[in-house]
């Protein structure tokens, strides 16, 4: 963009992420409009409105100083853990899986906030950890405790998808913090052994069933496999250029479940075809490339880990959602960032973006050091 | 990592950059994987998924075709269709059977036994095989169900056509019935039409035999529907092509009359055009009502039919086998004539004839005096036939029996017919490895012993004797068919037999009361009384129903210009006296329907109503007795087919083959001049138990 012709206030904005975001959200709004049968006000309007609100929130986060982030890491983390316990207690009273906290004016899902929260607290932890200790157990044990509390609480809800997302964010931060590679390889090997055990002893029946059906969706075409089968039909029938805007029969005739939330990508692909799908992938690619670029040019260890961790958290969302929609992963309730209709995921993702934008601002303010 | 080197910030930063690069590559890799997968689904497998999406979107509803009508020879409907409202259940889609059924029972006012029947079927039905809840509904009930559909998943109300048999039970065995296709039918045919709610397949009789001709081509309605089945828009409707009608040779009025005239008895009536072979009536009673059978057989109805000793499920015309008794005598006499016997040759009847060391009695123990062929027929003198049969020989008699149709197979469009036996020496040797004995001949000439026929064969025998033509039974109307070839009998011989048979009815014979109340039309006939068990068990006239003699009558009219032939068999009627009044009235119906109807209406008043009314009363009695208690549940579809099949099996060989010197059962009427007495009384008076004959014959083999 030729800076000379635009006002400084506008030129200063991080357009390399805002443009892809706006494209993605607008496209998402169009898809939601079609999924609602051409009624813009059902989902699209609130989708755009939330984006606007959380964009402002992200802008505000982006203006916060680095010190505030470091100082707030522990209180924010502790507060979120407290909310998770609270959710657990209320859930214990209410019975069943409790994920929401009713604040009166809105419903809050603390586990959602914990995704950026865990990245923040671990980035802080490794930034204060003496360099020499990174190869010892002292680098692992506190991090494991910091991760274990929220992850355990979320899994108890039970919410496997969010639990995995939190764990993934934490592991990425540990990985980037320079912990010995052999620990990760060892953990990976242990995971391979533990997975079958967990499958048979830890998972709930409905979760186990989801995994089984994922392995063979046709075994239960009208039950749990229905989601995967119908989603694949929607994507596959779209072809290269799709059935055309507003012509998706799978979504309009309700064959596709959750057409406006978890399976919004299938709704899109049916009407826009493979071209639409590739467009979404490319836009996501741009966002992730921006995130990692911000991370690598960050001035210090804390902001590096923070930016990379936030990027990978968003990536995890996208990756699991698209794999699920295309039949490469079991059905877990994880929405597609900026396209699925839903306030919580919009909030989490915009907090991540706001944090990365903040790191980008610090980059410009302070030249890169080795601290 | 090398543990010994001190870790510095530079190393960690370097490590961070390397690892970030790894993660970046991971993202690219995942991105490529997703793009590839997307391409695979959307491009490589596009066709498959497009088809799947289309089959999701478009809902094809088959419209069951209207079944072809079954018509009588005048174009009157024996089986038709009528528009109705119906309600079906698709078991797979019913979420809560108990709740659904209790709601439906309330809306449709179903009686408790019907609810249980539907529950039984619902439990047994497989997947998408529809179960009929009710049909022939009025608009109010239909609408009541229709508006509550959202609460009733799996319930399908629709308007369509159902099979309707105007004559009800009278045509049950003739036409058959229809029903929902069973799992086996579907396995065999794999046609989605079979599991379309409201579609019925021919289950028995002509409905089954001409299934493909009657079926027609289903219509289809293509709609765009949501996943929950709500119809978004109509994409087009193709009309059904109704099945082709079949026209029968049956005279619907005569068929109904014959069936009703059998009354409370268990029996069959066959009326044929003896010139062409057209079957004008073919009734077997009692019978099931094909209308209610076609709606699905209820448990009370099933109990009622399966416990009836008159076997309503058996088509007695084609599956009933009976010793023909004296009705074979005109046939035997014809064989004598064709063998060259002088009809005036006489034998003295003193009430019995010694054959070897046994005495074979004539039915009239006082004897008939001097008997020639005509008297042998009209008085049904057994001794005459005992005597000359020995002279002519069994082979000639058996050949004539077969020539006239006994023991022969006729290509009728019904499954599982029984053809009976015409015994001769070769047959006996093969079947029992025993030599033919003289007493076998003696028994065969009076239609007892091994000889077994079905009523259709008797009607054909009567037709062939009447017209002298080789008539074949014909059920499908063909007005252009050439007349059958003559049999090659001498007309003189036929005339002789005809006049002797006329004498049976119009002169000094055994069935004087069979005279037609029609001017200028004389009936010619022959009575027959066939023993079921030896006289040492029962006398055949009274006592346990199942031991009573079968009553037979064959006849034709007019006697001088034969046009119509008829055979009547009344199971355990106690003698021919039960059979010929029915034959008389049925033949009267052809010439003077009003007179015949007047007689029938009198009878039906005594019997407690017509067939429908009697069956309804019987059903109500059963329902009152068993409706509340847990009656035996209905057999499931396969089982039912099997059991109906069993019920249809021929009576088989008689329990005890009467090959001994049977004492022929008395003919019902006094030889001469007795007119005033009721039919049964003289029969009993004449029944002199032939115990001596029985003891003498006790050494006889079977």
User: Between A and B, how many CB-CB pairs are < 8 A?
Assistant: 149
**Do residues B222 and B278 both lie within one domain?**
no
- Please state the domain count of chain B: 2
Q: Which residue has the tokens 């059977």?
A: B97
Domain housing B302? 252-671+678-697
Eight-class DSSP state of B528: E
- From B18's Cα to the closest Cα of chain A, the distance in A is 9
Cross-chain Cβ contact B16/A238 below 8 Å: no
CB A320 within 8 A of CB A332: yes
Would you list the domain boundaries of chain A?
19-53+204-371, 64-198
Q: Chain-centre distance of CA A48, in angstroms?
A: 18
Cross-chain Cβ contact A176/B20 below 8 Å: yes
Cross-chain Cβ contact A240/B13 below 8 Å: no
pLDDT at A98: 58
Cross-chain Cβ contact A253/B225 below 8 Å: yes
- Domain of B237: which CATH number? 3.90.1310.10
Interatomic CA distance for residues B266 and B286, integer angstroms: 6
Using CB atoms within 10 A of its CB, is residue B183 exposed (0-12), middle (13-18) or buried (19+)? Answer: middle
Sign of CA dihedral B445, B446, B449, B453: positive
**Residue B334 covered by a domain:** yes
Cross-chain Cβ contact B20/A238 below 8 Å: no
pLDDT at A279: 95
Residue A240 in contact with partner chain B when CB distance is under 8 A: yes
- Domain of B663: which CATH number? 3.40.710.10
Residue from B16, B22, B127 to probe the interface with A (highest A Cβ count within 10 Å)? B16
pLDDT at B317: 86
Cross-chain Cβ contact B42/A240 below 8 Å: yes
**Do residues B433 and B389 both lie within one domain?**
yes
Element (H, E) at B79: strand B77-89
Residue A326 in contact with partner chain B when CB distance is under 8 A: yes
Cross-chain Cβ contact A278/B35 below 8 Å: yes
Is B303 or A324 the better-scoring residue by pLDDT?
Answer: A324
Sign of CA dihedral B406, B407, B409, B414: positive
**Do residues B260 and B118 both lie within one domain?**
no
For residues B52-74, average pLDDT: 86
**Residue B182 covered by a domain:** yes
**Do residues B623 and B655 both lie within one domain?**
yes
What separation in angstroms does the CA of B272 have from each of A307, B77, B250, B558, B588? 101, 20, 9, 13, 14
Cross-chain Cβ contact A250/B53 below 8 Å: yes
For residues B670-686, average pLDDT: 35
Helix, strand, or coil (residue A233): helix
User: Which residues have a Cβ under 8 Å from the Cβ of B616 and sit 6 or more positions away?
Assistant: none
Candidates A182, A253, A326; nearest CB to B34: A326
CB B608 within 8 A of CB B620: no
**Do residues B194 and B261 both lie within one domain?**
no
On chain A, the residues whose CB falls within 8 A of the CB of B55 are: none
**Residue B366 covered by a domain:** yes
Candidates A237, A274, A323; nearest CB to B39: A274
**Helical residues (DSSP H) of B540-667, grouped into ranges:** 580-591, 593-607, 611-626, 637-648
On chain A, the residues whose CB falls within 8 A of the CB of B225 are: 253
Candidates B15, B23, B54; nearest CB to A178: B15
Spatial CA neighbour of B466 closest among B301, B274, B670: B274
**Residue B53 covered by a domain:** no
For the cut 60, the answer to whether the pLDDT of residue B132 exceeds it is yes
pLDDT at B122: 79
- In tens digits, chain A (371 residues) has pLDDT values of 455 677 777 777 888 899 999 999 999 999 999 988 888 888 899 999 999 999 999 999 999 998 899 999 999 999 999 988 888 777 555 444 556 666 655 567 888 889 999 999 999 999 998 888 888 888 889 999 999 999 988 887 777 778 888 999 999 999 998 888 888 888 889 888 888 887 777 777 777 776 776 666 666 655 667 888 888 989 999 889 888 888 888 888 878 888 888 899 999 999 999 999 999 999 999 999 999 999 998 888 899 999 999 999 999 989 999 998 998 887 777 889 999 988 888 999 999 999 999 999 888 876 655 44
User: What chain A residue is nearest to B14 in terms of C-alpha separation?
Assistant: A178
- Cis check for the bond before A210: say yes or no (omega within 30 of 0): no
Interatomic CA distance for residues A239 and B39, integer angstroms: 8
**Do residues B481 and B364 both lie within one domain?**
yes
CB B51 within 8 A of CB B227: no
Last residue of a domain, one of B247, B275, B292: B247
Interatomic CA distance for residues A337 and A326, integer angstroms: 16
**Do residues B294 and B413 both lie within one domain?**
yes
Candidates A236, A295, A323; nearest CB to B41: A236
- From A242's Cα to the closest Cα of chain B, the distance in A is 9
CB B250 within 8 A of CB B282: yes
On chain B, the residues whose CB falls within 8 A of the CB of A131 are: 7-9, 12
Cross-chain Cβ contact A249/B56 below 8 Å: yes
**Do residues B334 and B413 both lie within one domain?**
yes
**Do residues B560 and B423 both lie within one domain?**
yes
**Residue B19 covered by a domain:** no
Residue A221 in contact with partner chain B when CB distance is under 8 A: no
ipTM: 0.90
Last residue of a domain, one of B247, B278, B299: B247
**Residue B3 covered by a domain:** no
Tell me the two tokens of residue A134: 């990174």
Using CB atoms within 10 A of its CB, is residue B262 exposed (0-12), middle (13-18) or buried (19+)? Answer: buried
pLDDT at B667: 55
- From B7's Cα to the closest Cα of chain A, the distance in A is 6
Residue from B53, B224, B233 to probe the interface with A (highest A Cβ count within 10 Å)? B53
Cross-chain Cβ contact A236/B56 below 8 Å: no
Residue from A128, A130, A135, A176 to probe the interface with B (highest B Cβ count within 10 Å)? A176
Interatomic CA distance for residues A109 and A101, integer angstroms: 6
Spatial CA neighbour of B583 closest among B594, B599, B567: B567
pLDDT at B684: 33
On chain A, the residues whose CB falls within 8 A of the CB of B232 are: 253
User: What chain A residue is nearest to B22 in terms of C-alpha separation?
Assistant: A176
pLDDT at B671: 39
Cross-chain Cβ contact B30/A319 below 8 Å: yes
**Residue B625 covered by a domain:** yes
**Do residues B103 and B176 both lie within one domain?**
yes
- What is the per-residue DSSP string for B479-523? TTPPPPPB----HHHHHHHHHHHHHHHHSSSTTGGG--SSTT---
Q: At what angle do helices A301-325 and A160-176 cross, to 10 degrees?
A: 140
User: What chain A residue is nearest to B232 in terms of C-alpha separation?
Assistant: A253
Interatomic CA distance for residues B135 and B196, integer angstroms: 15
Candidates A239, A292, A322; nearest CB to B43: A239
Cross-chain Cβ contact A135/B1 below 8 Å: yes
Q: Chain-centre distance of CA B478, in angstroms?
A: 23
Candidates A236, A285, A312; nearest CB to B46: A236
Cross-chain Cβ contact A175/B19 below 8 Å: yes
- Give the HSE-up count for residue A316: Cα atoms under 13 Å, Cβ half-sphere: 26
The tens digit of pLDDT for each residue in B544-589 reads: 888 888 899 999 988 888 999 999 999 888 888 888 899 999 999 9
User: What chain A residue is nearest to B35 in terms of C-alpha separation?
Assistant: A278
Tell me the two tokens of residue B405: 């149709």
Cross-chain Cβ contact A134/B49 below 8 Å: no
**Do residues B195 and B290 both lie within one domain?**
no
Residue B91 confidence class, pLDDT cut points 50, 70, 90? confident
Residue A227 in contact with partner chain B when CB distance is under 8 A: no
For the cut 70, the answer to whether the pLDDT of residue B665 exceeds it is no
Is B569 or B667 the better-scoring residue by pLDDT?
Answer: B569
Residue A322 in contact with partner chain B when CB distance is under 8 A: yes
- From A9's Cα to the closest Cα of chain B, the distance in A is 31
Using CB atoms within 10 A of its CB, is residue B219 exposed (0-12), middle (13-18) or buried (19+)? Answer: middle
- Give the HSE-up count for residue B72: Cα atoms under 13 Å, Cβ half-sphere: 20
For residues B31-47, average pLDDT: 92
Helix, strand, or coil (residue B320): coil
User: What chain A residue is nearest to B51 in terms of C-alpha separation?
Assistant: A237
- From A156's Cα to the closest Cα of chain B, the distance in A is 30
On chain A, the residues whose CB falls within 8 A of the CB of B48 are: 236
Tell me the two tokens of residue B701: 């083999």
Last residue of a domain, one of B247, B270, B296: B247
On chain B, the residues whose CB falls within 8 A of the CB of A322 are: 34
What separation in angstroms does the CA of A364 have from each of A68, A352, B655? 18, 19, 113
**Residue B702 covered by a domain:** no
What separation in angstroms does the CA of B550 have from each of A130, B326, B530? 115, 11, 5
pLDDT, chain B, mean: 81
Tell me the two tokens of residue B642: 């099997």
Q: Chain-centre distance of CA B145, in angstroms?
A: 36
Most confidently modeled range among A56-70, A225-239, B159-173, B509-523:
A56-70
Neighbours of B544 (CB within 10 A): 10
**Do residues B243 and B256 both lie within one domain?**
no
Residue A278 in contact with partner chain B when CB distance is under 8 A: yes
Interatomic CA distance for residues B582 and B588, integer angstroms: 10
């Amino acid at each position: 963009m030729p800076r000379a012709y635009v006002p400084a206030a506008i030129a200063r904005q991080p357009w390399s992420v805002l443009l892809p975001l706006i494209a993605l959200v607008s496209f998402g709004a169009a898809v939601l409009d079609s999924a609602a049968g051409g009624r813009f006000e059902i989902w699209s309007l609130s989708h755009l409105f939330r984006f606007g609100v959380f964009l402002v929130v992200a802008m505000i986060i982006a203006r916060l100083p680095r010190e505030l982030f470091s100082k707030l890491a522990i209180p924010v983390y502790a507060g979120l853990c407290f909310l998770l316990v609270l959710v657990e207690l209320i859930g214990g009273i209410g019975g069943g899986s409790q994920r929401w906290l009713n604040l009166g004016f809105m419903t809050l899902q603390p586990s959602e906030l914990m995704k950026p929260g865990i990245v923040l607290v671990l980035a802080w932890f490794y930034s204060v950890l003496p360099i020499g200790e990174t190869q010892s157990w002292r680098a692992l044990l506190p991090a494991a405790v910091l991760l274990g509390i929220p992850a355990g609480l979320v899994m108890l809800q039970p919410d496997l998808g969010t639990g995995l997302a939190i764990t993934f964010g934490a592991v990425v931060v540990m990985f980037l913090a320079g912990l010995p590679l052999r620990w990760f390889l060892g953990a990976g090997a242990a995971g391979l052994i533990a997975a079958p055990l967990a499958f048979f002893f830890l998972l709930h029946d409905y979760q186990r069933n989801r995994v089984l059906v994922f392995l063979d969706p046709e075994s239960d075409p009208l039950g749990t496999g229905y989601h995967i089968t119908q989603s694949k039909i929607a994507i596959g029938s779209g072809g290269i250029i799709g059935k055309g805007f507003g012509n998706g029969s799978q979504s309009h005739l309700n064959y596709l479940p959750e057409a406006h939330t978890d399976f919004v990508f299938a709704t899109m692909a049916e009407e826009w075809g493979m071209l639409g799908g590739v467009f979404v992938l490319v836009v996501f690619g741009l966002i992730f490339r921006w995130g990692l670029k911000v991370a690598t040019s960050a001035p210090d260890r804390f902001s590096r880990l923070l930016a990379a961790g936030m990027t990978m958290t968003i990536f995890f969302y996208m990756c699991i959602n698209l794999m699920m929609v295309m039949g490469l992963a079991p059905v877990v309730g994880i929405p597609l960032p900026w396209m699925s209709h839903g306030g919580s995921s919009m909030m989490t993702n915009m907090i991540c973006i706001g944090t990365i934008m903040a790191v980008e601002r610090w980059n410009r303010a302070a030249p890169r050091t080795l601290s | 990592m090398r543990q010994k080197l001190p870790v510095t910030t530079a190393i960690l930063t370097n490590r961070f950059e390397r690892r970030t690069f790894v993660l970046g590559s991971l993202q690219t890799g995942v991105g490529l994987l997703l793009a590839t997968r997307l391409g695979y689904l959307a491009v490589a497998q596009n066709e498959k998924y497009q088809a799947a999406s289309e089959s999701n979107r478009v809902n094809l509803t088959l419209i069951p075709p209207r079944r072809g009508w079954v018509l009588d020879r005048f174009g009157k409907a024996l089986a038709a269709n009528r528009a109705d409202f119906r309600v079906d259940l698709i078991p797979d889609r019913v979420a809560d059977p108990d709740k659904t059924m209790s709601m439906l029972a309330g809306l449709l006012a179903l009686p408790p036994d019907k609810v249980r029947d539907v529950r039984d079927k619902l439990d047994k039905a497989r997947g998408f095989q529809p179960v009929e809840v009710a049909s022939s509904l009025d608009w109010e009930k239909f609408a009541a169900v229709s508006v509550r559909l959202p609460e009733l998943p799996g319930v399908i109300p629709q308007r369509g056509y159902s099979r309707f048999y105007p004559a009800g039970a009278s045509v049950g065995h003739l036409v058959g019935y229809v029903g929902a296709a069973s799992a086996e039918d579907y396995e065999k045919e794999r046609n989605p039409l079979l599991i379309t709610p409201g579609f019925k397949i021919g289950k028995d009789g002509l409905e089954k035999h001409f299934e493909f001709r009657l079926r027609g081509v289903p219509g289809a309605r293509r709609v765009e529907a949501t996943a929950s089945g709500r119809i978004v828009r109509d994409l087009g409707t193709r009309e059904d092509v109704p099945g082709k009608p079949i026209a029968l040779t049956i005279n619907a009025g005569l068929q109904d009359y014959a069936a009703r005239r059998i009354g409370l008895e268990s029996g069959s009536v066959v009326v044929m055009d003896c010139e062409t072979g057209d079957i004008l009536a073919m009734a077997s009673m009692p019978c099931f009502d094909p209308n209610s059978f076609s709606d699905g057989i209820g448990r009370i109805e099933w109990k009622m039919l399966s416990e009836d000793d008159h076997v309503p499920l058996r088509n007695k015309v084609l599956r009933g086998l009976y010793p023909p008794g004296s009705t074979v005598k005109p046939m035997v006499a014809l064989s004598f004539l064709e063998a060259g016997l002088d009809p005036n040759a006489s034998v003295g009847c003193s009430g019995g004839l010694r054959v070897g060391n046994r005495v074979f009695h004539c039915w009239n123990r006082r004897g008939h005096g001097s008997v020639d062929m005509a008297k042998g027929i009209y008085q049904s003198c057994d001794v005459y036939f005992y005597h000359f049969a020995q002279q002519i020989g069994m082979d000639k008699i058996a050949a004539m029996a077969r020539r006239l149709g006994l023991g022969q197979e006729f290509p009728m469009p019904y499954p599982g017919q029984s053809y009976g036996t015409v015994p001769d020496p070769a047959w006996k040797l093969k079947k029992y490895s025993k030599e033919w004995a003289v007493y076998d001949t003696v028994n065969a000439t009076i239609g007892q012993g091994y000889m077994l026929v079905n009523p259709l064969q008797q009607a054909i025998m009567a037709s062939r004797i009447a017209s002298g033509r080789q008539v074949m039974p014909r059920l499908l109307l063909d007005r252009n068919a050439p007349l059958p070839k003559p049999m090659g009998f001498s007309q003189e011989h036929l005339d002789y037999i005809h006049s002797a048979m006329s004498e049976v009815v119009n002169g000094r014979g055994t069935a004087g009361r069979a005279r037609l109340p029609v001017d200028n039309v004389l009936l010619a006939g022959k009575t027959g009384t066939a023993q079921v068990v030896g006289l040492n068990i029962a006398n055949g006239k009274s006592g346990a129903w199942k031991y009573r003699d079968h009553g037979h009558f064959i006849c034709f009219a007019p006697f001088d210009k034969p046009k119509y032939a008829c055979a009547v068999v009344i199971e355990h009627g106690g003698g021919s006296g039960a059979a010929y009044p029915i034959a008389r009235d049925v033949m009267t119906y052809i010439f003077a329907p009003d007179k015949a109807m007047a007689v029938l209406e009198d009878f039906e008043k005594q019997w407690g109503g017509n067939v429908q009314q009697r069956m309804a009363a019987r059903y109500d009695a059963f329902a009152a007795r068993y409706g509340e208690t847990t009656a035996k549940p209905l057999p499931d579809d396969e089982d039912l087919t099997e059991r109906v099949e069993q019920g249809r099996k021929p009576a088989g060989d008689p329990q005890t083959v009467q090959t001994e010197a049977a004492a022929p059962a008395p003919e019902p009427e006094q030889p001469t001049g007795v007119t005033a007495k009721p039919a049964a009384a003289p029969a009993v008076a004449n029944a002199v138990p032939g115990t001596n004959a029985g003891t003498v014959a006790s050494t006889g083999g079977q």
